[in-house]
Amino acid sequence: MPLLILIMFIAVQFGLVWFGNQAASAAAREAARQARVYGNEAAAQAAGREYAAQIGKGVLEDYQVHVEIVGDRVRVTVTGHAQEISPIGVPTVSQTVEGPLEPTTGAD
């Protein structure tokens, strides 16, 4: 019985880490979308933070959004902690999204 409980415990923690990874990925995609369209690092960072906050308490905690625009490309990395059942052995979740900046016509 203890082995079965341990396996269930590990499966639930794995699911929470997977869910946290998906939340980090969604926040990174939203920040990258903002950066690709508007080319503004600060606005993209704010959009990523806002999206991560809207996901819900406990899904992604202590998150950080890093936006970097280099030339005609943008890279967004979101790192944080998934919800923890156990304080030991839970990895930090991190997702990176990269893409080209949208070309502007100058007629905006």
Alpha-helical regions (H) of 1-101 = 2-38, 41-55
pTM for the full predicted model: 0.84
Say if CB 76 and CB 31 are below 8 A apart: yes
CB count in 10 Å sphere of residue 108: 4
**pLDDT tens column, 36-70:** 988 889 999 999 999 999 987 778 888 999 999 98
Q: Which two tokens stand for residue 47?
A: 């959009």
3-class SS of residue 102: coil
Say if CB 95 and CB 57 are below 8 A apart: no
